[in-house]
A and B are shown apart, each in its own frame.
Chain A
Amino acid sequence: MSFRLKAYQKWLTMPEPEWQNVHYPKIDFQSISYYSAPKPKQKLASMDEVDPELLRTFEKLGVPMHERAALAGVAVDVIFDSVSVATTYKEKLAEVGIIFCSISEAVQNHPELIQKYLGSVVPVGDNYFAALNSAVFTDGSFCFIPKGVKCPMDLSTYFRINTEGSGQFERTLIIAEEGSSVCYLEGCTAPRFDTNQLHAAVVELIALDNADIKYSTVQNWYAGDENGVGGIYNFVTKRGLAKGVNSRISWTQVETGSAITWKYPSCILRGDNSVGEFYSVAVTNNYQQADTGTKMIHLGKNTRSTIVSKGISAGHSNSSYRGLVRITPTAEGARNYSQCDSMLIGDQCGAHTFPYIQVHNSSAVVEHEASTSKIGEDQLFYFSQRNIDAEEAVSMIINGFCKDVFQQLPMEFAVEATKLLSFKLEGSVG
C-alpha cells in the first residue's frame, strides 16, 4: 500500500520530539514488534469465543460487553494487540446503513471511503508518531454513519495490549455524513509487564454538515509500578475535522493509565458555526507523566470551542495541560472558553499549564482560566465534622472536581471512571 511506504519514508526523516517536561528513555523502535497477533490466530466468530479472561478484564474495567453489552445496547469492536477480534451488532447497524467494522475489513469492502478519508485529517507526515502509525498500522475500527442517521446505540471499541514488548498501532476512522450523529466509546487496558510498550494510535473523525460526533475514552493502560518500571507509552494522535456547517466534534477523555501519555485530541473547525469540545480528566500517580490537551483550530465563521481540563497529580508524577487555541483571520466571530484546573496531592508531584492562544481576528473572544490548588483543610474539616472519613472525603472532593467532565460521559462510563479514580488514588492521601 503506497500510503504505508510514503509514511515510513516520512517517518525516517523526522526527528523524535523532545518536549519540555516529559522525560522518557529513547525507544528502540527495532525492538518493538510492530504487529503481534494474538496467539489463537483464527478469526473469532462470535463473542462466545472470546477468551473468558478478556471478558473478565472487561468486567473489571467496566466496559459493558457480552450480556451487559446487549442490555446496555452498545455495539463493541474489540482490538486485541492491534487486531480486531470481534465486532458485535454489525447486522443490526447495517439495517440503518451504518458500517461498523474493523478497518482491515473496510479496506476490503469499502475501499472508496478509505481512500477518500484515511489520512485526510491526520496527514501521513503530521508528526513523528502519526507517521509511524501510518506506516505500520495493523488494524482498528471503521465507522461510517450515512446521511441523516442517528446511530441508535453507542458504538464502542475496546483496546488491549497483551504481548510483552509490543507496540500497538491501531487506526480509527469515523465518518459522520450530513445530519447524522454518533456516540463512540473507547476503552483501553493492558496487563503489567516490566518492559515498556508503545501505543501510537491515530484516530480521525470527520463530521459533515450538521453532523455530530462524540468520542469518549477511558484509558487505563498499564502505568508502570510504583517505582516507574514498565508501563505503556501512550503517544496518540486524535483529530476531528468539523468539516460541515453546524457540525460538532466532542472529545471526552479520562486518562488514568500509561507511564507516559502524549495526547492532544484536536478539532479543526472548518465549517461555519461548527463546534469543538474537549473534556478531560488526567490522573497521574507514582512516576507517571501525562502531557495532554487539545488544539482548537478555528477556520470557519462563528465557530465555538470549549475546553475543560482537570489534572490530578499524586506521588512523583507530573501532569501537564498543553493546549492551542488558534483563531485564524477567516474565523469571524469565533469564541473559545478554556478552563484548566489542577489539583496536587503530595509535594513530590507537579502540575503544569501551557496554553497557547493565538488570535488573528479581532472579532474573536477567547477566555482562558486556570488554577492550581490542593484539597483544602477547610473542606476536609467540613467533611470530618459531618462524620465522613478523610479517604471518602477526598474521593468525593475529587469527583466533584471532575464533575464537569464526568457528566459528558455516558452513564456507565461515568460510574466506572469514578471508581477508577478512587482506585487510582487510593492510599495517596495521608
Chain B
Amino acid sequence: MSDLTNTDYLEYLLKSLSIKSTESLSWLNQLRAQAIDRVSTQKLPTRRDEEWRFTDISPLTHLPYQPSKLECNLHAHDIEHLTLKEAKNRLVFVDGHYSQDLSTISDSAALVIGNLPAFVATHASILESHVGQYVQFDNNVFAALNTAFLRDGALIIVPKDIAISEPIHLLFIATQNEVTSYPRCLLIGEAGSNVTLIEDYVALQQATYITNSVTEISLAANAHAKHIRIQRESAQAFHLANCGVSLAHASNYQSVSISLGSHISRYNLDVRLTDEAAECVIDGLTLISDRQLADTHTCIDHMKPKGTSRQQHKCIVNDAAHAVFNGKIIVRPHAQRTNSSQSSRNLLLSKTAQVDTKPQLEIFADDVKCAHGATVGQLDEEEIFYLESRGLSPEVARNLLTFAFGAEIISRIPVSSLRQQLEQAVLNQTQSS
C-alpha cells in the first residue's frame, strides 16, 4: 500500500464521486457541488492545525478507501442482537446505504420518518432550509466530503406538539472492508415536539473502514429532544463525525454520547443556542484501551440571553490509549444571564495512557455564571477507603469506583436495554482482578 499525500488523497476521493444526472432537484445538486468545491480547496488537517493538535489522522491516507458498495447480504436475524426492544421505529443503514428490509417504521402516520431521498420531492422546501445548515463545511473537509457524497440518510420530522414516547433507533452497520461510508441524519423537531433519537454505529466484523458522518438537528421553540449517540465501531475503524444542533426559543436538547470503538475517532458537536432561554445538557463518555485514540470537540455557543448549558465529559483510558477533549463555551455579547457549567473528568488506568483536555471559556457578556473544571487522575483514595471500611477488598472497591465513573454518564440514557448493554461494556473493559 502506498501513502498518498494529502491533496492526492482528496482528489482521489473526489474522482470516485459521480453525480447521477437523474437527481432532479437542483438545490441538492448545488449543495453537493458547493461541497465538492470546498473539498478541492481544503487540505486534510494535520497536527499543525489547532483543532487537530492532538489527533494525527494521517493513517487515514494509508489506504485508498473507496466509497462503500451498495450490497447488503444481511437478514433480520443477523442484526437481532443489535436491536433495542424499546424502539418501535428503526432505520437501518448498511455501510451508509438505507436498508428498507431491515428497517421498521411504525409511526409513519404521526411523523415523517425514513430515508432522505424518499422525501426529497415531497418535502423539498423544508429539506432545503435545513440540510447543510447546521454543520458548515466551509472549513471542515470531512463535513464537505460527507455532503459531496450525500445520498441516503435518516430523516425524522416530528410535527408540532407531537411527542413520541418510544425512542427512534438509527442503526448504522459497517460490513465492508477498506471502504468509506457517509451516513447522514437530519432531525427536525417542530415547535413543542418531543422525541428521543438513538444514533448507533456498530460493526459486524473487525474491519478497517472509515465512517464519515454528519448529523443535523434543529429544534423549534419549546421542542425537546434527547439524542443518544453510541459509537461502537470496529477497533480498526476510523470514525469522523460532525453534529450540528440549532436550538430555538426555550427548546431543550439533551445529549449523551458514548465512544467505545474505532482506532481513531473524532466527534465534533456544535450546539448553538440561537434564541432566548434555550437549554442543553451534554454528557459524554469515552472508554478506550489498546492504542485507540478518541477525540471529542464540543462547542456550546450561547448566542442569546438566558440560555443554560451543562456539560460533563468523562474519559476512562486504559493501556496506551489516548483521549482528547476540547470543550469550548462561548457567551456572545448581550447573551446575558447565561448559566453554563462544564466538567471534564479523566481517569487513567495504565501508565501509558494519555489524556489531553482543554476546556475553554470565551465570555463576552458580564451578567453570566460560567464555570468549568477539569481533573485528570486516579481513583480518589478517600472513596476507596470508604468502600474498604464497608468490608470491600481494595480490588472490588477500585472496580466498583471505575465502573461508577462510567456508569454515571450511562445512567442518563433513558433506554434501559441500551443502558444494560453499555454497563456491560464498561464492566468488561474496566474490571481487573
Chain A residues engaging chain B, CB cutoff 8 angstroms: 20-21, 327, 329, 342, 344-374
Given A357-B357, A359-B354, A364-B377 contact (CB < 8 Å): yes
A352-B362, A374-B367 known; 13 other A-B pairs, CB under 8 Å?
A329-B352, A347-B366, A352-B361, A362-B350, A362-B352, A362-B353, A363-B351, A365-B375, A365-B378, A367-B375, A370-B359, A371-B370, A371-B372
B370 / chain A contacts, CB cutoff of 8 Å: 371-373
Contact B363 A355, beta carbon cutoff 8 Å: no
Q: Which of A348, A354, A364 contacts B333 (CB 8 A)?
A: A348
In the bound complex, CA of A366 to CA of B375 (Å): 5
**B264 on interface, CB distance cutoff 8 Å:** no
Residue B349 at the chain A interface, CB threshold 8 Å: yes
Is the beta-carbon distance between A353 and B356 smaller than 8 angstroms?
Answer: no
B407 at the A/B interface (Cβ < 8 Å)? no
A363, B378: Cβ atoms closer than 8 Å: yes
Residues in chain A near residue B357, CB distance under 8 A: 357, 359
Query: Is the CB–CB distance between B374 and A347 below 8 Å?
Result: no
Report the minimal beta-carbon distance from A290 to chain B, rounded to whole angstroms: 14
Q: B223 contacts the other chain (Cβ, under 8 Å)?
A: no
Q: Residue A357 contacts which of B350, B356, B371 (CB distance < 8 angstroms)? A: B356
Chain A residue nearest in CB terms to B358: A356
Given A370-B373, A372-B371, A347:B334 Cβ within 8 A: yes
Q: A360-B354, A367-B374 are in contact. Are A372 and B363 (CB under 8 A)?
A: yes
**CB neighbours of B367 from chain A (8 A):** 347, 374
A357 B374 Cβ-Cβ under 8 A: yes
Distance to closest chain B CB from A262 (angstroms): 17
In the assembled complex, which residues on chain B have CB atoms less than 8 Å from the CB atom of A21? 362
B368 within 8 A of A: yes
Expressed in whole angstroms, the minimum distance between the Cβ of B410 and any Cβ of chain A is 23
Expressed in whole angstroms, the minimum distance between the Cβ of B15 and any Cβ of chain A is 35
Q: Which chain B positions have C-beta within 8 A of A327?
A: 376
B373, A362: Cβ atoms closer than 8 Å: no
Residues B366 and A349 in contact, CB atoms below 8 Å apart: yes
Alpha-carbon distance A362/B348, docked complex (angstroms): 5
Point out the residues of chain B lying under 8 angstroms from A364, CB to CB.
Answer: 348, 376-377
A353 to B342, CA, bound (A): 13
**Contacts of A350 on B, CB cut-off 8 Å?**
362-364
The CA of A24 and the CA of B364, in the complex, are separated in Å by 19
Contact B371 A370 (CB under 8 A): yes
| Count of A-B contacts judged by CB separation below 8 Å | 116
Complex Cα–Cα for A372 and B363 (A)? 8
Residues of A within 8 A of B376 (CB): 327, 357, 359, 364-366
* Bound Cα distance from A319 to B369, whole angstroms: 17
Q: Which residues of A contact B336 (CB under 8 A)?
A: 347
Q: Which residues on B sit within 8 Å (CB–CB) of A346? A: 366
Minimal beta-carbon separation of A122 from chain B (angstroms): 23
Q: Hey, which chain A residues are within 8 Å of B346, CB to CB?
A: 359
* CB pairs A–B below 8 angstroms (18 shown): A347-B365, A348-B333, A352-B361, A355-B358, A355-B359, A356-B356, A356-B358, A357-B356, A358-B355, A361-B348, A362-B352, A366-B374, A366-B377, A367-B375, A368-B372, A369-B372, A370-B359, A373-B369
Interface of B is mostly: strand
A-chain residues with CB within 8 Å of residue B368 when the two chains form the complex:
344, 372-374
Taking CB atoms, residues of chain B closer than 8 Å to A342 are 361, 363
- For A19, the closest partner residue in chain B by CB is B50
Instruction: Write the nearest CB–CB distance from A323 to chain B, whole angstroms.
Output: 10
| Most interface-central of B50, B334, B336, B374 (chain A CB within 10 A) | B374
Q: Least Cβ distance of B360 to chain A in Å? A: 5
Docked CA distance A357–B375 (Å):
9
Q: Report the minimal beta-carbon distance from B142 to chain A, rounded to whole angstroms.
A: 22
> Once bound together, how far apart are the Cα atoms of A358 and B346, in whole Å?
11
Contact B378 A354 (CB under 8 A): no
Residue of A342, A350, A357, A374 with most partner-chain B CB within 10 A: A357
A360 proximity list for chain B (CB < 8 A): 354
> Contact between B378 and A352 (Cβ–Cβ < 8 Å)?
no
Query: B59 CB to closest chain A CB, in angstroms?
Result: 20
Q: Which chain A residues lie closer than 8 Å to B375 at the CB level?
A: 365-368
Given known contacts A347-B333, A352-B363, A369 and B377 CB-to-CB distance under 8 angstroms: no
Q: Which residue of A lies closest to B354 (CB)?
A: A360
A116 CA / B346 CA spacing, docked (Å): 41
Given known contacts A362-B378, A364-B377, is B371 in contact with A354 (CB within 8 Å)? no
| B235 nearest CB across to chain A (Å) | 21
Which residues of A have CB within 8 Å of B351? 329, 361-363
User: Which 4 residue pairs are nearest across A and B when measured between Cβ atoms?
Assistant: A362-B348, A344-B366, A365-B377, A371-B371
Assembled-state Cα–Cα distance A347/B305 (Å)? 13
Say yes or no: A354 contacts B360, CB within 8 Å.
Answer: yes
Q: Given that A355-B374, A362-B349, A364-B377 are known contacts, is A345 also in contact with B361, CB under 8 Å in the complex? A: no
Cα of A228 to Cα of B234 in the assembled complex, Å: 56
- How distant is the Cα of A346 from the Cα of B376 in the complex, in angstroms? 35
Q: Mark B317-344, 1 if CB is under 8 A from A, else 0.
A: 0000000000000000110100000000
Most buried by B among A354, A356, A362, A374: A362
How many whole Å from B343's CB to the nearest CB in chain A?
10
Q: A229: shortest Cβ distance to chain B, in Å?
A: 23
- Given A357-B357, A357-B358, A374-B368: A368 touches B373 (CB 8 Å cut-off): yes
**What CA separation (Å) do A178 and B110 show in the bound complex?**
78
- Complexed CA–CA distance, A367 and B373 (Å): 7
- Bound complex: CA A152 to CA B221 (Å): 69
Question: Which of A353, A372, A373 gathers the greatest number of chain B CB atoms within 10 Å?
Answer: A372
Chain A: minimal CB distance from B310 (Å) = 14
